[in-house]
Structure 1
Amino acid sequence: MGRHSYWSEMETTNILKAARRLSAAALLLAAWPGVAQAADLDGSTLSVLWGVPFAGILLSIALMPLLAPIFWHHHFGKVAAAWGLAFLLPFAVAFGPAVAGANLVHALLAEYIPFVILLTALYTVAGGIYIRGNLHGSPGLNTGLLALGAVLASVMGTTGASMLLIRPLIRANDNRKHVVHVVVFFIFIVSNAGGSLTPLGDPPLFLGFLKGVDFFWTVGHILPETMFLIGTLLALFFALDTWFYRQGAEVLPRDPTPDTGGVRAFGFDGKLNFALLGAVVALVLLSGFWKSPVVFDIMGTPVGLPGIVRDVGLVAVTLASLWLTPRQVHDDNQFGWAPMQEVAKLFAGIFLTIIPVIAMLKAGTDGPFGAVVRAVTRPDGTADPAMYFWATGVLSSFLDNAPTYLVFFNTAGGDPAVLMTTLAPTLAAISAGAVFMGANTYIGNAPNMMVKAIAEDRGVKMPSFFGYMLWSGGILVPLFLVMTFIWFR
């Protein structure tokens, strides 16, 4: 198939098979008597035990890669499916197949499918752009690349920006003795903080966008916090990198990546993907600003025409990128589906098991999680932004920041109109906590682990799990304390 051979017939066949299975499942649910008439869950009547599968899958994500890495690598999808079934089957028995089916369809259509489609599009487009050539990792160049990554993260997502820039950044510094700090600050800035300004930037904000938060709300409400955090981190990095750079024998006598000339000189391969990236941004913006009266009721879940157009368009962008990007670009980028498959499988379990947790949190102080609600609420009954910032942030550090955002979004009431106005400081605290503090550990945000794996594959001896936390605890946590007293009191 020539230059487009990356998009193989086998992959096309697998996608068609998956589509047929999903269609069959949807038809089965549609034929299930009473599904469309299922009522919303009353969280105040649920036992806290319904949250065990959700806690189980999050703890599995946090601990099993450390305690049983080989088992987790081969069976993480089965673990996620097991926790999903541990919730869904007893739930169907207790409340009936109609309620279970309606809530499953809602989780799929309103949250999971749009979420995965956007991530897949950004991941694919970023994987189709290869930065060739050899840069030289001086403090100025490194700081500039981190600043560029911070900007790109809110345009093409933390995953897309991380995958685009981490390889050329490591190549630029492969003649340096000290490289660990470069990758650590890259995770802080590009893989996390930089994605705080738009729903494209980080999965938590896209979930908020799907819930009704305006596209430009975050840039209008946490821009000062973001500029403070990124600006301070860039200044600290420049000072530290300059100190290392001036040490004796810091620069190796021979560069492992020699300079090249001619057609393989510095530049971009797969440039068409920049246009496709623009199409991704346009489709997401379109779905936010286009108000259409056309709404399809699918088993109790309203699905609007703008959302359908966005998701179909993103799938088309993904397929176009795979088809039009030369195979050599994907080979140079070492592009593969394993990271995306892991995200899709794990989040399928997360979005399913979180159903009762959201219902219980929506019940407020009357629900099983009343203590959580009271912990982030002042004595006079108003929300405490500082507590929301740290509660969201601490959980985002050790769990995944996307479901953590969703949990506290609903703890604060779950009404986007109220959260964007009356409770704007609270929503700002939730958004900042989820995005910023996802950098506290390797497992706080998906790109963290991806960047770590790429760096180690290229010979960088990255810190251990707790070694990395020494970096984040010494650098990030003091900055978060300062931010709390300035913005979230």
Structure 2
Amino acid sequence: MIDPIAPFDGTRLGLAWCVPFAGLLLSIALVPLVAAGFWHRHYGKVAAGWAMSFLLPFAIVFGFGGLLHEVLTVVLTEYLPFILLVTALYVVAGGVEIGGKLSGSPWMNLALLAGGTLLASWIGTTGAAMLLIRPLLRANAARHHRTHVIVFFIILVGNVGGALTPLGDPPLFLGFLNGVGFFWTTRALLLPMLLTVGLLLALYLAVDLVLYRREGRGTKAVEFESKLTIDGHFNFLMLGAVMGAVLLSGLWHPVSVPSIGGIALAWENLAREAILLVVIGLSWWVTPHAIRGRNAFTWEPVREVAKLFCGIFLTIVPVMAILAAGPHGALAPVIRLVERTDGPDDVAYFWVTGLLSSFLDNAPTYLIFFKAAGGDAHALTTTGAGTLRAISAGAVFMGALTYIGNAPNLMIRSIAEEYGVTMPSFIGYLAWAAVILLPIFLLVSLVSF
């Protein structure tokens, strides 16, 4: 993966360049509330409109050549790798059918949440979420109260669970590419993750036991109402190929670097994208369509992520460039928050990295603060380990605060709505997540950083 920071000079940009990104975020948050039908039909056009509100002024100020270079850089080195990985995991997971009737009891849901959380660090948050969301939804089909189950699933499986390896979440993979050891995050983030996950699971169980009783159900934890079956085994091989492709791009570094239009494209990244395309094709071709039919597989979750994140990836460019300018950019006060006169403030690194990651792309946000902390992987994994631990935990954990904080969040919401679950709006989910997570994050920051 190539460094995603925009190549033009962020010191030349004022805060007005952040308006298209802010407008897109507000549109995602507010338009579904006031015009749900319009949003469902035209969200892609809204995202494209905000993208053009950045691209056209950019072309005027920096020239068409600068615009073309910027768009190609974003598309080739950031957006296409992102959407290919998301699509591959979605298609592969959609070809695995976990059959049989799970009970949907609080204890069975707890087991699915805990299992998915553990799995997320090894097959990625998107992989674990797409593999388990449908069984969880089927298990709870007869439940009256289901929204909270999906919200905790987004938080745990879609975000916090990815904290232990570079395969779990893109920010940690960027750290791996910049010299952080593969198992450094396992050692450094294990205790903060266990504390966070333990508190979240305990809170979930307490809430669900109350709601389960209100539905007039007994407290007996029936695990299976019919025999559990797994079909679509070929896709487990495909899932391994996806993880292998991601790992390959971090370990194999050929000397020669091809380019398109002056944009460097590493061979390892091209190999990864080629493998992902093959995986998508093979999974779709080999998996019986009956399996995807029983999984209620549709392309809408991927379409929504593809269209909205295309707008986000484009409009976020000036925001990230200004942040990358550090103390010389228009957002210098944000950068100064993480430093004290006597050195880095690890608690501030956790909160600033995390809160920005919940609204910006958490991978480049991680990289900005990785560089702000010195950018030396050896130093940051030894004498500066506390600072890197704070940056890593903030980027991974706080992606759970919004629907756009991490790619699985929107996909989980979209799949849940297709199964008839009433999900919170953007602002509603933010309120849910803030109430659940902010007290836990405050405790974690006091204990761990």
Could you tell me the TM-score, scaled by structure 1's length? 0.79
Worse-matched range after superposition: 350-359 or 335-344: 350-359
- Separation in structure 2 between the aligned mates of residue 348 and residue 318 of structure 1, nearest angstrom: 20
1:389-404 to 2 correspondence within 5 Å? 389-397=350-358, 401=362, 404=365
* Mapping of residues 381-420 of structure 1, within 5 Å: 382-397=343-358, 401=362, 404-405=365-366, 408=369
What SS does the aligned partner of 1:268 have?
A: strand
Q: Secondary structure at the match of 2:392?
A: helix
1:273-292 equivalences in 2 (<5 Å): 273-292=235-254
User: Is 1:235 aligned with 2:202?
Assistant: yes
Cα distance per residue 1:37-71 (max 9 Å; x no partner): xx942222223322222322233333333333222
Matching residue within 262, 270, 280 for 1:308:
270
Shift of 1:92: 2.4
Shift of 1:406: 5.8
Offset at residue 143 of structure 1 (A): 1.9
Distance (Å, rounded) in 2 between the aligned partners of 1:213 and 1:59:
36
Deviation, 1:478, is 1.7
Q: Is the 8 A contact 2:97 2:232 kept in 1?
A: yes
Residue number in structure 1 paired with 2:108: 141
Identity %: 55
- Matched with 2:45 is 78
Aligned to 2:3: none
Whole-Å separation in 2 of the counterparts to 1:210 and 1:305? 14
Aligned amino acid, residue 487 of structure 1: S
Structure 2: distance between partners of 1:190 and 1:368: 36
Is 1:354 aligned to 2:321, yes or no? no
Residue number among 334, 337, 343 corresponding to 1:372 in the alignment: 334
- Which amino acid in structure 2 is aligned with residue 90 of structure 1? P
Matches of 1:166 and 1:129, distance apart in 2: 11
CA 1:215 to 1:318, structure 2 compared with 1: closer, same or farther past 3 Å? farther
Query: In the alignment, residue 335 of structure 1 is paired with which amino acid?
Result: F
CA distance in 2, matches of 1:358, 1:430: 16
Which deviates more from structure 2 when the two are superposed, residues 275-284 or residues 139-148? 139-148
Structure 2 SS opposite 1:161: helix
Q: 2:389 aligns with which of 424, 428, 444?
A: 428
Could you tell which deviates more after superposition, 269-278 or 148-157? 148-157
- For 1:344 and 1:186, how far apart are their aligned partners in 2? 22
Structure number with bigger Rg: 1
RMSD: 3.2
Alignment correspondent of 1:330: 292
Report the CA distance between 1:229 and its aligned residue: 1.1
Report the alpha carbon displacement of residue 231 of structure 1 after superposing the two structures with TM.
2.2
Counterpart of 1:480 (choices 436, 441, 445) is: 441
- Deviation for aligned residue 1:405: 4.4
In structure 2, distance between residues paired with 1:134 and 1:448: 25
* Kept in 2: contact 1:176–1:250 (CA 8 A): no
Deviations 1:411-462 (CA, angstroms, capped at 9, x unpaired): 6566767655665433432332232223234454443344344445545455
Deviation per residue, 1:137-168 (Å, 9 max, x gap): 34432222111111222233323322322232
Structure-1 residue corresponding to 2:87: 120
User: Which amino acid is the alignment partner of residue 440 of structure 1?
Assistant: L
Number of residue pairs matched by the alignment: 442
Does structure 1 residue 166 correspond to structure 2 residue 133? yes
Matched AA of 1:269 = D
User: Which moves more between the two structures, 427-436 or 273-282?
Assistant: 427-436
Query: What code does the residue aligned with 1:324 have?
Result: V
1-structure distance, mates of 2:298, 2:113: 24
Q: Which residue of 1 aligns with 2:55?
A: 88
TM alignment of 1:128-207, pairs within 5 A: 128-176=95-143, 178-206=145-173
Higher deviation after alignment, 458-467 or 338-347: 458-467
Q: Unmatched 5+ residue regions in structure 2?
A: 1-5
Shift of the 64–388 alpha-carbon distance from structure 1 to 2, 3 Å rule, reads: farther
8 Å contact from structure 2 (residues 175, 367) kept in 1: yes
Distance in 2, matches of 1:78 and 1:341, equals 13
- SS in structure 2 at match of 1:335: coil
CA separation of 1:118/1:368 partners in 2, compared to 1, >3 Å: closer, same or farther?
same
Distance 1:483 1:242, change over 3 A: same
Partner amino acid, structure 2, of 1:88: L
SS in 2 for 1:131: strand
SS of equivalent residue, structure 1 residue 63: helix
The AA in structure 2 aligned to 1:356 is P
Distance of 2:43 and 2:180 partners within structure 1: 32
CA–CA distance in structure 2, aligned partners of residues 280 and 473 of structure 1: 33
How many Å separate the matches in 2 of 1:61 and 1:81?
13
Corresponding residue of 1:53: 20
Q: What is the identity, as a one-letter code, of the residue corresponding to 1:237? A: Y
Query: Cα deviations across residues 96-125 of structure 1 (Å, max 9, x unaligned)?
Result: 333333333222222222122111111111
Label 1:152 to 1:364 Cα distance change in 2 as closer, same or farther (>3 A). Answer: same
Does the CA-based 8 Å contact 1:150-1:193 persist in structure 2? yes
Decide whether the 8 Å contact of 1:131 with 1:168 is kept in 2.
Answer: yes
State how far apart, in whole Å, the 2-side matches of 1:108 and 1:224 are: 37
Aligned to 1:250: 217
- TM alignment of 1:434-449, pairs within 5 A: 434-449=395-410
Taking a change above 3 Å as real, the CA distance of residues 216 and 118 of structure 1, as seen in their structure-2 partners, is: farther
Query: 2: CA distance between counterparts of 1:289 and 1:200?
Result: 12
Indicate how the Cα distance of structure 1 residues 369 and 415 shifts in structure 2: closer, same or farther if over 3 A, else same. Answer: farther
Whole-Å separation in 1 of the counterparts to 2:217 and 2:297: 31
Quick one: distance in 2 between partners of 1:205 and 1:64?
Answer: 33
Equivalent in the alignment of 1:296: 258
Paired residue secondary structure (2:339): coil
d(CA) in 1 for partners of 2:215, 2:318: 58
Q: TM-score, normalised by structure 2?
A: 0.86
CA distance in 2 between counterparts of 1:245 and 1:425 reads: 41
